Structure 1
Amino acid sequence: MIQAFGLTSTPRKNRAPAVDDVSFEARAGHVTALLGEEGAGKTTVLRLMLELQYGRGATYFRGRPLHRIDHPSREVGVLLGDVPGHPSRTVRGHLRMLCAAAGVPVRRADEVLETVGLVSLRDERLGTLARGMDRRLGLACALLPDPHTLVLDDPFDALSGRESRWLHDTLRAHTGQGGTVLLTIADPKDAATVADQVVTLERGRIAADQNAADFARTRLRPRVAVRTPHAARLAALLTKEARTAHRSVEVVREDGNRLSVYGSTCADVGETAFRHGVLVHQLADEVGDMGPGAGRGTAETGAAGASKDDRGDRGARAVGPLVAELASTDVVTDTGTGTNTCADEARDVTATGRGDTASGAAEGEGPSPRPLPSTPAPARTPAPTPHPRTIDALPDLPPPISVRPAPSPLRPLRYELRRAAGISTGFLTAAAVLVVSALTAVVLARIGHTPQARLLAAWPRELPLPPAALGAGLLGALAFGDEFRHPALAADRGTVPRRLGLLTAKLLVSAATALALAVLTVGCDAEVLYLVYGREVAQVPADWWGLGASWLALCVGCAWAGVLAAGIFRSTTAGLAAVVAVPVVVVPLVQKVWEGPSVRTAAGFPLRVREVLLAQWPFGGERYLAAAAKVVAQPVGSALALSLTTLLCAYLLTTVRSRVR
């Protein structure tokens, strides 16, 4: 069960809030639809419920707010907009990655694929899926942790009839097992077909809260759909005959050559078209919307001589304004049956019908327009005063809604491995680095005057970093950059989480990738140099262990700098820029600080630190510590260490700020 109380969005400047005091209830075992035109506030209501947007109000999922649930994805399955995910990832790989994030067994991915009928497309890329298949995948992502509640934003949008029927059956199967479904929808006819309960929104406020039967009776009415190239002429003929026969007929011009005729039948419209030689391409009975938007456009209404039919027709078209008026008191009166429906079930409020206007609406809301009786309208009965709120029951203002951080993956290391290996970007980047590094080493060997260590690393003095270090930095930046560009992890809770578990997993995977890339680059360069120039050029330096430690530390440091910078600035480009900024900007600054003109300099500080630390490390540990100190003592090494420390502190600061909010 979902209970929403007083949902109100934060207004922008002097504008009215997009959602104002919305309260409703979605019961378990039922499909509840939020109905409204574009801009009515349906998506904003969902974002407030899911704590994705600041505002006021409270939403309880089976008695608990979302931020009080340990694993929100296991309680609420969410689909907002298109399916988030990298377009190069396969359907099965995407679901397996989300299994690690939700902490469910990997076999659950195959089970959900069978449920939504995507087994035959499990190896297809996300970017190649059609609209209907994309909706199926979105529902599969929502069903993956087997949640009790489904919250879907316009799931029937642009679906074919077959796909709509499949989705309807799937949602019914979920509610048949005791689950709750809340969805937004724009078409009243679809809402009457799909939902058990329909909550109508108009301009950010609740206009009606009815079950499907009452909604279909009070909001929908039959009409005749006509398509003809002579729409204007046929509309004039129908209006003229209605006036002559004293019948109430409403003709509404739709888009193109389409007419909607209310208060008539297919036989009458067809006979009129036949008598006057009007070509008709379509003539069919439909169910039309009788809400506020039904009468928009060019409409012509036949006038009735006795004015009774005219009163009934005006009463039918008055449903929208009447509902909007009643919404101001958060109460909707079902005039078709005389019963009352509360917009906020937490308030025990009762309302009565409103005079002759409500009676006219009731008469016009039936299957066919009927003339009102000639007896005078009854006197208006004042609505009883609603029960006052008590201080203990409800506060004056609903509580504020804070945007909560997204939960980190329950299995972060497994998630990161599947994220990195699920697309070909990392493999293509590594292959490009190996090719560029080998070609650069061959060119440097041909030119000459390059030290052996730089030759094996393919690092000319003119470049700030070697290809391997740049490739490691790019792969590290992609680790967080892809999360913000294709936020599959945070589809249900807003921004990408800044949790230490996820950061640790990304640092470990990027470090392993950087080490492998560094070793492969040196090995490929040495092999290519041996094949082209012989063994003399491909010799390994004598102090290879110290140089190797520096080389590995450089690649790992660049990868970590890319990870941290992309996580802070939420961009792959910013992560790569932070890596390049180390030798270009930070190194000159460090050298200027250490070697600048002053009374006393600290030029020998790294060497003295190494001497002090080596005296305290027996049993041969000074060898490895000396290698580490040598790496840090280098200009690039010290600058990289300083950059990593700064980026890590900035990341931790943003993490603490997100938790405080």
Structure 2
Amino acid sequence: MGRVIVAEGLTKRYGDKTAVSDATFTVQTGKVTGFLGPNGAGKSTTMRMIVGLDAPTAGRVAIDGRPYRSLRSPLTEVGALLDAKAVHTGRSARDHLRVMAATHGIPRRRVDEVIELAGLTSVAGRRAGKFSLGMGQRLGIASALLGDPHTLILDEPVNGLDPEGVRWVRGFVRALAAEGRTVLLSSHLMSEMAQTADHVIVLGRGRVLADASLDQLVRDWTQHAVTIASPRLTELAAALQGAGATVTATTPGAAEVGGLSAAAIGDLAAAHGIPLHALTETTGSLEDAYMALTADAVEYTSKDLS
């Protein structure tokens, strides 16, 4: 069901400013792909090029081998939320969706379905110009879902949503990916992305900095450590160092070990008959990995007041 999105050497310049530079990546079907990057990294520009709103200066991007502009029925193939404010403020939510549906021959019952799905039933008759930020986001999501598309491209869809709405978006996009659809999702909320994405593409200053599974990204860009505690720590530390590990004492009877997995440490302790009172393996978070990866690609930085 899904449509693979493939970008090859995608470049966009505005005068002497390069917004996206030689970006090559693949958004796979059946997965939620997180699209991350600092402000000004080129994420929104890239999304606009995918759906034909901006023409690339160089390179190409295709959905299932075809440019967006060649799709016969765009709403039923690609649903996009790029600007939740891109609605006629004088129209009701229902009328906005009905106008969109009419362009593709989508039945009115589908309008009612997405209104209910997005939690807009109680405000469907209200003018969109009176909507809060969160309600506007829900209308934008309803618009993206209107054609029951194979591919979803969502730029900051949880912006302005309350916790219930954020949780709904997370569960919904994961369910769509599980059905075999393609989902490209941008967000600045790292904790939320960590719970939602399977794969991550990171942009920095218009270039692709990473294109990997979420787990691989965290492994590659964060510190991995194992904390141990033992009543015979000195003896255990010597055995671990003999096996090539680094051991750093933290508190009496406890230490942090680098260079060996928790399983290897447990096996070594057992082989020496040394009791372990604690054996905890820790890795960094997606936020840690993101900060390390984009440290040199942030256009605007805040002053540290600590």
Closer/same/farther in 2, CA of residues 134 and 11 from structure 1, 3 Å limit: closer
Q: Distance between the aligned counterparts of 1:221 and 1:192, measured in 2? A: 17
Aligned to 2:125: 123
Tell me by how many angstroms 1:219 deviates: 4.2
Matched position secondary structure for 2:53: coil
Provide the rounded CA distance (Å) in 2 between the counterparts of 1:31 and 1:185.
12
Secondary structure of the 1:20 match is strand
- How many pairs does the alignment contain? 239
Aligned match of 2:273: none
Aligned counterpart, 1:48: 49
1:146 deviates by 1.3
| 1:12 corresponds to | 15
Q: Which amino acid aligns with 1:135?
A: Q
Structure 1 counterpart of 2:92, from 90, 93, 104: 90
Higher mean C-alpha deviation, range 119-128 or range 134-143: 119-128
Aligned partner of 1:614 in structure 2 is none
Residue correspondence of structure 1 range 39-188 to structure 2 within 5 A: 39-54=40-55, 55-188=57-190
CA contact (8 A) 1:191 1:198 kept: no
The structure whose residues are more often helix, as a share, is 1
| More strand as a share of residues | 2
1:298 alignment counterpart: 304
Q: Shift in Å at residue 221 of structure 1?
A: 6.7
2:27 is the alignment partner of 1:26: yes
| Matched-pair contact (CA < 8 Å) for 2:84–2:139 | no
Q: CA deviation at 1:149?
A: 0.6
> Secondary structure of 1:33's match?
strand
Q: Which amino acid is 2:111 matched to?
A: A
Partner of 1:201: 203
Which structure 2 residues correspond to residues 577-656 of structure 1 after superposition, within 5 A?
Answer: none
CA contact under 8 A between 1:192 and 1:216: conserved in structure 2? no
Alignment correspondent of 1:216: 218
- Distance, in Å, in 1 between the alignment partners of 2:110 and 2:40 is 37
**CA distance in 2 between partners of 1:108 and 1:160 (Å):** 25
TM-score scaled to structure 1, two decimals? 0.34
Cα distance in 2 for partners of 1:121, 1:132 equals: 12
RMSD of aligned alpha carbons = 2.7
Q: Is the 8 A contact 1:79 1:142 kept in 2?
A: yes
Secondary structure at the counterpart of residue 20 of structure 2: coil
Partners of 1:142 and 1:220 in 2: CA distance: 35
> Are the structure 2 counterparts of residues 298 and 120 from structure 1 closer, same or farther at C-alpha, using a change threshold of 3 Å?
closer
CA distance in 2, matches of 1:94, 1:298: 45
In 2 relative to 1, CA 134–201 (structure 1 residues): closer, same or farther, beyond 3 Å? same
Higher Rg: 1
Mapped to 1, the partners of 2:160 and 2:94 lie a distance apart of 24
State the alpha-carbon separation in 2 of the partners of residues 90 and 11 from structure 1: 36
Structure with the larger RCO, 1 or 2 (CA within 8 Å, 6+ apart) = 2
Task: Give the Cα–Cα distance (whole angstroms) in 1 for the partners of residues 103 and 155 of structure 2.
Answer: 22
Find the aligned partners of 1:100 and 1:298 in 2 and give their Cα distance. Answer: 53
TM-aligned CA deviation for residue 97 of structure 1? 1.5
Change beyond 3 A, Cα 1:246–1:297:
farther
Distance change in 2, residues 1:111/1:298 (3 Å) = closer
| C-alpha distance in structure 2 between counterparts of 1:141 and 1:149, whole Å | 13
SS state of the match for residue 10, structure 1?
Answer: strand
| d(CA) in 1 for partners of 2:221, 2:164 | 26
Tell me the CA shift for residue 11 of structure 1: 4.3
Q: Is the 8 A contact 1:192 1:215 kept in 2?
A: no
Q: Name the residue aligned to 2:38.
A: 37
Could you tell me which residue of structure 2 aligns to residue 461 of structure 1? none
Q: Which residue of 1 aligns with 2:236?
A: none
The equivalent of 1:3 in structure 2 is 6
Using the alignment, how far apart are the partners of 2:223 and 2:142 within structure 1? 36
Unaligned runs of 5+ in 1: 223-244, 248-262, 264-285, 301-661
- Alpha-carbon shift at residue 186 of structure 1 (Å): 2.4
SS at 2:44's partner residue? helix
- Give matches, 1:475-490, under 5 Å: none
Deviations 1:563-583 (A, max 9, x none): xxxxxxxxxxxxxxxxxxxxx
CA displacement at 1:187 relative to structure 2: 3.5
1:319 is matched with none
* C-alpha contact 1:35 1:187 (8 A) present in aligned 2: no
